[in-house]
Each structure stands twice: as C-alpha cells, then as structure tokens.
Amino acid sequence: MKKLLIGLGKMGNCIARGWIDAGINDLCIMVKPGQIDVIANEFPQIKVISSISEIDFNPDIIFLAVKPHSIEDILKECAIFTNAIFVSFAVGIGVDCTRKILGANSKVIRIMPNVSCMIGSGVMGGYAVGIDESIKIEISKLFESLGSLHWLENENLIEASAAFSGGLPAFIAYSANKFVRTFLDIGLKEKDVVFIVKNMITEVIEFFSKNDEISIDENINKYNNIFILLYYRWYLDGISIGFQSKVAYKMLLETLRGTSSMLNNYLFNDIIRMVASKGGTTEAGLNAMANSPILAAHQRSLQLFRILQT
C-alpha cells in the first residue's frame, strides 16, 4: 500500500521512526516547508515533501498526524484522493466531522497511539467506518511494528484511549519521578532511588502479568508496593470511562511494559515532555495527579471533542 504521512510533530515523529526502524520505507512524509531539509537529512531513505501538489502518486492510505485546528484544511486538500483510506491520529476530530469534508462514503479510521510506538511497544486504540475486515487486518499488520492495536467497538472509546493508554506513560513517569524526589529530600542518592523505583515498576509488571482482570481483585492486597495499588486504581478508572475490564487490563499492562522499556533510554521528565501538550488531555491529567489523572484527562478529551465538532 502506498502511504502518505502528513505531519511530523510528536506523534507523527514517533510513528515515522517506528516504521523506519522496522524497515518500512515505502512512505512519503509531508511537512512544513521550513522542515524539509532537516527531515530529509534525518530520514534520507524516504521521500519528503511540503505540499499536496508535490505528490506524484495516488496514496492508498493517508495518515493525518496534524493538530486538530489544521486538519480541516488538510482534508479539503486531500479530498481529491477519493479511493484512499484516511487514518487520523487527531484528538477530538470525530468520524462524522471528517466525512463531512471527504464525503459520506469515505473510508475513515481513527487511531489513538501512545509514545511507546517509537520503540515498537506502543498501545493503540482504533475505530473504523466504511472499512471491511480484510482492510482492518492489513492495518493491524502495518501497526504491528509500532505495538499493539486494539479495535474498539465505538468511537467514544477513542476519546477514552487518549486519556488512558495515551496519557498513562506520562502519568507513570510522573508518579515514579515524584517518588524519587521524595526520597532525595531525605538524603538518598538519586541513582540509588531511581534503581529502586525501576525495580518496583518491574515488580508491578510481574504482578499484572501473573494475574488477569478476574484474579487481580483477589490478589491486589497481597503486595506491599505503592505502585501496584496506584496502577490498580488507574485500571479501575479505565473501566469507569468505558473500557471492558479485559481491554483496560491489557492496555494498562502493555503500557507499563512500553513505558518501562522507554525508561532504559529516557528520563522520567523526558517521557512527560514527549506526551504532554499545552491544553491537551495529558496535561489535564497531570494537573490532577493527586486525585485521578485518568478521569481528568478523559473529561478534557470529551471537552475537546465537543468543541472541535462545532
């Protein structure tokens, strides 16, 4: 399938890097004119353009990794590709809104990835309309190099994914970093505390791996690990915003694994900066860490959805 990726911000960059690292180079990237030279040097194996007019092929699939306020203009330009499948990563831009521009019978997919896609351990929620099962299978295979794609039964769960699997890496990093700072204040060395915290996160992953959405309720109080209790609460919050318990459990465990892997190369604050955007869902969650970041992020996600549909 001929692929066009429009936009190379935080998420677009994660996706492009994940694909290129996996050897998927049959990709064209469209960026702002001022980014051409930098991106072309960074990704010499792929074609980089700055406008729709430069496209010399008919893309089979167009990935939209642009900010919500830019997506309407991009869709209007791309409407000439009537047979293309459109995959949007934008928070708050619903399928109906996209189809108003592209046409009532257009093929539209919304996918909500998270930052771990850049190391091939991402967790993604997907929702599709106008797409048959064979195409969904192809899309799933394409995203295998980035992590696991969970097809969701309704579009509301895409907004929930933005809050849950989308925000979790930052929430995990924030809670771990706060734990580290607390122990630095009493005189422990940073490298020692970071080592302890990473081991605690590993213990959390082992705990969730040994259990499932049924047995966890019986075993949660058998462990004296503050992170197990905290992340268990976030799992319950995932259920409260609409996920089936099995899906919430799997998404949490996969996100823990991906975030833990990222901590081998990135600092806690690096991960937070990669995920959080000003005024976005994750920022709303980070501002509510003392209560429930998942619920706060979800409220912001729904708010953005309502605003952007008008």
Q: Could you report the per-residue pLDDT of 97-134, keeping only the tens digit for each?
A: 999 999 999 999 999 999 999 888 999 999 999 898 99
> What phi and psi values does residue 236 have, to the nearest 5 degrees?
-65, -35
Task: Give Dmax (Cα) for the chain.
Answer: 63
More confident residue, 69 or 141: 141
Contact 289, 174 (CB under 8 A): yes
* pLDDT value for 190: 87
Query: Does residue 12 surpass a pLDDT of 90?
Result: no
Pair (176, 57) in one structural domain = no
Pair (46, 76) in one structural domain = yes
Q: What is the mean pLDDT of residues 242-253?
A: 97
Q: At CB < 8 A and 24+ separation, what contacts does 241-248 make?
A: 241/160, 241/163, 241/164, 241/294, 241/295, 241/298, 242/156, 242/157, 242/160, 243/157, 243/160, 243/164, 245/213, 246/212, 246/213, 247/150, 247/152, 248/164, 248/213
Contact 90, 250 (CB under 8 A): no
Point out the domain boundary residue: 124, 151, 178: 151
Is 162 among the domain residues? Answer: no
Question: What is the C-alpha separation between 139 and 149, in angstroms, rounded?
Answer: 9
Strands 107-112 and 122-129: antiparallel
* pLDDT value for 310: 64
Pair (90, 223) in one structural domain = no
Strands 47-49 and 3-6: unpaired
Is 160 among the domain residues? Answer: no
Smallest CA-to-CA distance from 68 within 171, 160, 156, 162 is with 162
pTM of the predicted protein model: 0.90
Question: What is the C-alpha separation between 240 and 244, in angstroms, rounded?
Answer: 9
| Residue 244 CB neighbours (<10 A) | 14
Q: CA 66 → CA 146, 174, 210, 293, distances in Å?
A: 19, 26, 39, 25
Pair (193, 84) in one structural domain = no
Is 299 among the domain residues? Answer: yes
Pair (144, 14) in one structural domain = yes
Question: What is the C-alpha separation between 86 and 6, in angstroms, rounded?
Answer: 11
Pair (7, 147) in one structural domain = yes
Smallest CA-to-CA distance from 150 within 46, 65, 60, 248 is with 248
Is 156 among the domain residues? Answer: no
Pair (13, 127) in one structural domain = yes
Point out the domain boundary residue: 93, 120, 151: 151
* pLDDT value for 228: 93
Which token pair is 123?
Answer: 């967790």
Smallest CA-to-CA distance from 7 within 95, 134, 123, 93 is with 93
Pair (136, 200) in one structural domain = no
Total domain count, the chain: 2
Q: What is the mean pLDDT of residues 40-56?
A: 89
* pLDDT value for 164: 97
Domain holding 68: CATH number? 3.40.50.720
Which token pair is 12?
Answer: 């677009």
Tell me, letter by letter, the H, E, C secondary structure of 52-66.
HHHCCCCCCEEEECC
Is 161 among the domain residues? Answer: no
Per the structure, the complete domain to which residue 263 belongs is given by 168-308
Q: What is the mean pLDDT of residues 252-270?
A: 95
Point out the domain boundary residue: 123, 151, 179: 151
Q: Which residue has the tokens 């892997």?
A: 261
Phi-psi sector, 130: left (phi>0), alpha (psi -120 to 50), beta? left
* pLDDT value for 99: 93
Pair (7, 106) in one structural domain = yes
Burial class of residue 154 in the structure, from the number of CB atoms within 10 Å of its CB (0-12 exposed, 13-18 middle, 19+ buried): exposed
* pLDDT value for 75: 94
* pLDDT value for 34: 85
Question: What is the C-alpha separation between 176 and 31, in angstroms, rounded?
Answer: 35
Which token pair is 31?
Answer: 């960026």
Pair (302, 174) in one structural domain = yes
Burial class of residue 305 in the structure, from the number of CB atoms within 10 Å of its CB (0-12 exposed, 13-18 middle, 19+ buried): buried
Pair (26, 130) in one structural domain = yes
Question: What is the C-alpha separation between 110 and 129, in angstroms, rounded?
Answer: 9
pLDDT band at 86 (very low <50, low <70, confident <90, very high): very high
Pair (108, 211) in one structural domain = no
The region of weakest confidence among 37-46, 53-62, 252-261, 270-279 is: 37-46
Is 229 among the domain residues? Answer: yes
pLDDT (tens digit per residue) in 187-202? 888 889 999 999 999 9
Is 184 among the domain residues? Answer: yes
Is 236 among the domain residues? Answer: yes
